[in-house]
Amino acid sequence: MPTPSLTKSLQRLGYALLLPVSLLPLAALLIRLGDLYLPALTLIGQALFGQMPLVYAVAIAFGLSRRGHGSQALAGAVGYLLLSSAISTLLPALHTDMICGLLAGITTAYCWPRIGALPLPRWLQHQPHEAIATLLTPLLCLLLVLPLAGIWPLIEQGSELLLDEVLTNPLGAFAYGMLNRLLIPLGLHQVLGNLIGIGSGDLEELSHALPPYSGFVAGLYPVIMFGLPGAAFAIWLHRLRQGKLRQGGALLALSLTSALLGITEPIEFLFAFTAPRLFLAHALLAGTSFALCNQIGIKLGSYFSAGLLDLLLCAPSGLHAFWIIPIGILFFVAYALVFTLLLGHHTQLSPHTDLGHATAACSPAADPQMLAIQYLKALGGLDNLQAISVCLTRLSLRVTSMSLVDQLQLPKLGCLSWMVLSEQQLVLVLGPNAGPVEAQIRMLAERQSVPLGQPAESGLGS
C-alpha cells in the first residue's frame, strides 16, 4: 500500500499532468482543420506535438509549485533542455524525451524552492533569490544524466515488454482497464497512463499527429461514450421509482458531457464514494470493455479522454474503429441493466447526491464571482479555508473545521456531489463551474491577503 504522502504527491503530479494532456485534442483539431482549410494551422498543431516533453516539464514544474512562480516554470524548461540534450548524446536510439520532461519538472519543483530559501554568500546577496534558484536548478538536472543513462535502457525494455506481452492480451487489458477506473477517485489515472506509455514510441507517433496509447486504450470509448450514459439512465429510473423528481435534464447533461467530451467525473462521482458496489461494477465492466476491444483487435488511441471528439479525431488513424459503435451500444445496455439491478427499489444512491439543483452545475455560471462568494459562505468563509485546487470538474479542499461547512447549502448552489474524506479534506464535484469558482476564490483570497496552498501537501513544490 502506498503511504499517504506518496499518494498525495502522485495526486499533485496527476493534476499537473492535466494541463499538457488537455492541449493534445486542441493540437489534433488544429491539424485536422489545417488539412482541410489552412495549412498554417497544421504547423501550429505539429509544433505543439513536437514540443510536448518541454510542455510537460514546464507544466509539472509550475503545477507542483504552491505559489505558482513563473520563474520556476522557466527553470523547468531550461532543466529539460539541458537534460534532454545530454541524454540524447549518450542514448540517441532510445525514447528519453518524455522521461526527461517529467524528471526535469519534478526535480525543479523539489529543488527550486529549497535553493531559493538558502542564505546567499555576501557577494551574491545583491542578486534576487529567484534568479539564483532559476540558474542553479537546471544544473542540478544534469546530475540525473548518468543514473538515467544507466537504468533507462532497462526501464524502456521493461515498458515495451509490458506493452507487448501484458497489455496486448485480453487479461492484461482487463486488468489495466479495471485499474484505470479504480484510480479515478484518487486522481491517479493520468499518472498510470503516462507511466505505462512513457517508454514506448508514443512520443514519436505524437510528433506525427498520431494519437498516443493506440495499443491499449480503445476499451475506454465504449465505457465513456455509452456505458456511463447507460448508468445515468439507470439512476434516472431508480429515482423515478423512488417518487423523486425525474431530473432527466440534469442527468442528460452529465451524459452528454461524458459522451461528447470524455469528462466522466460528474457521473462517476455520483457513486464512487457512496455506493462502492456500483463503482466496483463500473470498474469490472470497464475491464471487460478493454478485454473485448483487445480480443477484436481494435487499435484506437486517445488524445484526451475517449469521448466523441476524440473518436472523430483518432478514427482515421485507427484500426477497426467502426466496432466502437456496436460495442458501445452493447455496453449501454449492460451498464443500464447492471446498475438497475444493483440499485434495486429501496437502495439510497447517496446521501451526498442531490440532483435537484444540478442543472446549475451543468452550465457555466452567469456570475462566477457571486457563485464563489456563496460557496465560500457555505465552506465557512476564507478563515476556514486552508487550501484549494481544481481538477477539471471538481474542487479539492482543505478546511480548518468541517463542522463550519454547511453541507445542506452545497446542493442549492449546484454542487453535483461531495465527499468528506477526513476531518479536514473535502471534494466538491461542480461540473464546468469548478474552474471559474476556484479562480474567483483565489482572487478573493489574494485581495484579502489570505494564503491558500494546495490540498495535497507533500515535499514537492514551494
Look up 391 and say whether it is catalytic: yes
Ramachandran angles phi, psi of 386, nearest 5°: -100, -35
CB contact at 8 A, 259 and 226? yes
Instruction: Let me know: does 181 contact 286? Beta carbons within 8 Å.
Output: yes
Inter-residue contact 216 to 173 (CB < 8 Å): yes
The vertex-22 CA angle with 21 and 28, nearest 5°, equals 90
Catalytic: which of 141, 293, 391, 415?
391
Copy the grid coordinates of residue 366. 452567469
Rounded Cα–Cα distance for residues 279 and 342 (Å): 11
Query: Among 289, 267, 288, 290, which Cα is nearest to 278's?
Result: 267
CA distances from 296 to 243, 323, 324 (A): 42, 9, 11
Quick check: 441 and 447 in contact, CB under 8 A?
Answer: no
Residue type, 311: L
CA–centroid distance for 219 within its chain: 18
SS3 211: coil
The rounded Cα 118 to chain-centroid distance in angstroms is 34
Interatomic CA distance for residues 14 and 458, integer angstroms: 13
Map residue 454 onto helix, strand or coil: coil
- Decide if 75 contacts 111 (C-beta within 8 A): no
H/E segment holding residue 151: helix 145-161
Residue from 266, 250, 183, 223 nearest 432 by CA: 266
Kindly list the catalytic residues.
Answer: 391
